[in-house]
Chains A and B, each alone.
Chain A
Amino acid sequence: MKIAVLTKQVPDLVEGLEIDASGKALDQDSLRYIISEADDHALEQALLIRERTGASVDVFALDMGEARDGLTTALAKGAERVTLIAAGLEAAPGSHALAELFAGVLRPQNFDLIVTGVRAIDDLDGSLGGLLAGLLELPYVGLIRKVETGPGGETVIVQKEFPGGFITELEVKLPAVLGIQSAEQPPRYVPVSRLRQVMKTAKIGEQAVEAPEAQPIAVERLFKPEEGAGAAMLEGTPEELAQQIAGLLAERHLLK
């Protein structure tokens, strides 16, 4: 089985996000990029399938932010091949554009299973997986928490999440696209020593592609929610804060 894992870089929310002078985009200089969290789970799920079945795992990333580091980490985790997709883009394209780029790259390669994160924090015009499946005319299922291969390797059996902790099990004929919410286990950790070792020999493939035709959504303005708009902020040392919180609970008769 040939598995493709599609990843993208998104702003790290640990850093403060700033809106640029146009008021319509994030200030690129304020951003630090990391791999989208759900994509990291998609990679983990692919590696788990590989360990169980001997499938091959190819990882792709759009050349943006720290994509090269992300691909090096994927190699260190055990991916066979990694490829950087260079489209000459300055800022993140929308999901339609991203799907168009990946569809072009994947169409000639005959992957059996394409996995990606079910959604990313910057998805406005839908998410990559469903759009890509539409373009490739493949079945799509998202919000997946477990993937097993079916009899004869012609299908995958997936678990899809619903509210209230309910899960449905679906069997999907391959080739197919899956949107992973979380892998069966937390994404594996790569020790820094291993990463350094891999960096010396890492072969990162590069593929140049035409810029996508699909245009991003014309956002008219970005804005931040008012800071602490709802909350009355408590001040003080940790001890004082604990005391104030206990006081609030006592006032409302929430203490035994």
Chain B
Amino acid sequence: MTNDVMVIGEHFRGALNQITLELLGKARELAGQLGGKVEVVLLGHGVEPLAAELGAADRLIIADHPLLEHFVPEAYEAVIAQRIKQAGPRLVLLGSTSVGLDLIGPLSVRVALPCFDNCTSLQVREGRVVGISQLYGGKIFAEYAVPETTALVAVVPGSFPAEPGKAAGVPEVLRLAAPPAPRTTFRKLIEPPPGDVDVSKVPLLVAVGRGIQNADNIPLAEELAETLGGAVCASRPVIDQGWLPLTRQVGKSGVTVKPKLYLALGISGAPEHVEGMKQSELIIAVNTDAKAPIFGLAHYGAVADAVEIMPLLTEQIRAASG
């Protein structure tokens, strides 16, 4: 085993995903402390131009093949497994993302490696690699030592700054062979339906979660948003219930927003949601559970029933706006 840190790169429509820069910056820091090198593994078709943005890595491992153009878990996993066996890095960093989550399990079994998901912190302390993962909807954190073998760590997007991962210049490039034909095939990419409000562009957001209880309370949120001159968005449970369209979902599978105001109503602050809104300029949270993780993140909080607060706040804003 080496002391190298490997990053599994992600990209979409010809651009690197933010998570890759976040992982790269962290890999740089860890490799420096461990005395190893940083390598990025990039799979796709026609991904060569992305090399110019990966100057923070020492090595770039490219697997370029039509079978890899779109994310097909089995095909990606076969190539990455081969590279891990060949290179024997100390750490393999993936995103705890739609890509990384599909790879970590099969890789852990196939290459017989320990794996850690939901990681939000990784540090070298007295020669040990210590990780922290968020569990139970962000209510509990677990700290562990990453064993001194090759280990897989899936990191929650937004846990590390992207800036240290940004550097121009082309690292040394190595190429990997094409994967065997997978049992899974890509059929098509479906784009989000057009026509609805793009909540990532709305500066004032009224966000509703499970705490609004039922669909009948959605109009209260809409009235509040309208009074404010903003829009309504939601966390996953509200979307899964069909109370609002998929286009309004903020979080891991939804939109990432950075509004001037994020009014979180009845939202507990599960990690999958927080990932999409933590960079909001002002977060005000209302939730009945005083222990809800959203209060750890919000600038202002109130322990109260969002359903009760919504019409009162609408009234207050109307009065204040004259």
Q: Which residues of A contact B315 (CB under 8 A)?
A: 242
Give complex CA distance A132, B105 in Å.
8
Q: Give how many A-B residue pairs fall within 8 Å (CB-CB).
A: 284
Q: Enumerate chain A residues within 8 angstroms of B190, measured Cβ to Cβ.
A: 159, 166-169
**Contact count band on A:** 35 or more
Given contacts A143-B101, A249-B317, contact A133 B261 (CB under 8 A): no
A124–B117 touching, CB < 8 Å: yes
Asked if B136 contacts A254 (CB within 8 A), the reply is: no
Does B40 belong to the interface (CB within 8 Å)?
Answer: no
Return B19 CB to nearest CB of chain A, in Å.
9
Measured in the bound complex, the distance between the Cα atoms of B182 and A176 in whole Å is: 12
The answer on a CB contact under 8 Å between B105 and A186 is no
- What residues on B are CB-neighbors of A17 within 8 Å? 136, 139-140
Residues of A within 8 A of B282 (CB): 248, 252, 254
A76 to B71, CA, bound (A): 38
Tell yes or no: A83 within 8 A of B by CB. Answer: no
Q: Which residues of A contact B133 (CB under 8 A)?
A: 124
Find residues 281-319 in chain B having any chain A CB closer than 8 Å to their own CB: 282, 284-286, 290-291, 293, 295-305, 308-309, 312-313, 315-317, 319
A170 in contact with B186 given A19-B140, A222-B140, A241-B304 (CB within 8 Å): yes
> A21 near B: Cβ within 8 Å?
no
Instruction: Flag if A161 contacts B98 (CB, 8 Å).
Output: yes
**Complex Cα–Cα for A235 and B233 (A):** 26
**Taking the complex as formed, is B213 at the interface, i.e. its CB lies under 8 A from any CB of chain A?**
no
Given contacts A164-B255, A185-B242, A231-B298, contact A220 B145 (CB under 8 A): yes
Residue of A nearest to B276 (CB): A163
A192 within 8 A of B: no
Chain B residue at minimal CB-CB distance from A243: B316
- In the bound complex, do residue B246 and residue A219 qualify as a contact, i.e. CB atoms below 8 Å apart? no
B189 at the interface (CB under 8 A from A): yes
Chain B CB within 8 A of A229 CB: yes
On whether A126 and B105 interact (CB within 8 A), knowing A171-B184, A219-B144, the answer reads yes
With A and B bound together, what is the CA distance between A255 and B263 in angstroms? 13
- By a CB distance below 8 angstroms, the chain B residues around A256 are 228-229, 321
B contacts with A, residue count (CB < 8 A): 96
Q: Is the CB of A168 within 8 A of B189?
A: yes
In the complex the two chains form, is A124's CB within 8 Å of B116's CB? Answer: yes
Min CB–CB distance A182 → chain B (angstroms): 5
Asked if A170 and B187 make an inter-chain contact with CB atoms under 8 angstroms apart, the answer reads: yes
Task: Give A78 to B282 CA distance when docked, in angstroms.
Answer: 47
Contact between B284 and A11, CB atoms less than 8 A apart: no
Q: Name the CB-closest residue of A to B282.
A: A252
Given A167-B189, A168-B190, also A121-B102 (CB < 8 A): no
CB neighbors of A among B18-45 (8 A): none
Which residues in chain B, 236-272, are within 8 Å of chain A measured between CB atoms? 236, 240-242, 246-247, 249, 252-256, 260-261, 263, 268
Whether the pair A134, B108 counts as a contact (CB closer than 8 A) is yes
- Interface pairs (23), CB distance under 8 Å: A17-B139, A99-B109, A128-B105, A131-B105, A143-B102, A163-B253, A163-B256, A164-B192, A166-B191, A171-B187, A179-B101, A181-B253, A185-B242, A186-B242, A222-B141, A224-B141, A234-B301, A241-B312, A245-B309, A246-B316, A246-B319, A254-B260, A256-B228
Given contacts A13-B136, A217-B116, A230 and B101 within 8 Å (CB-CB): no
The secondary-structure label for the interface of chain B is mixed
Given contacts A131-B109, A226-B296, A228-B301, contact A220 B102 (CB under 8 A): no
User: A186 vs B241: C-alpha distance in the bound complex, in angstroms?
Assistant: 5
Q: With A166-B192, A222-B142 as given contacts, are A227 and B117 in contact (CB-CB < 8 Å)?
A: no
Contacts of A248 in B (CB 8 A): 282, 284, 300
Residue of B nearest to A224 (CB): B140
Decide: B189 and A227 in contact? CB cutoff 8 A.
Answer: no
Q: How far is the CA of A161 from the CA of B187 in the complex (A)?
A: 14
Known: A13-B137, A131-B109, A252-B282. A227 touches B291 (CB 8 A): yes
Contacts of A231 on B, CB cut-off 8 Å?
285, 295-301
The reply on A141 being an interface residue by CB < 8 A is yes
Kindly list 19 other residue pairs between chains A and B, CB separation below 8 angstroms, not including A221-B143, A228-B296, A235-B302.
A124-B135, A125-B117, A126-B116, A129-B105, A134-B110, A143-B253, A160-B98, A163-B252, A165-B254, A171-B187, A217-B142, A226-B296, A229-B296, A234-B302, A238-B304, A242-B316, A249-B261, A255-B320, A256-B321
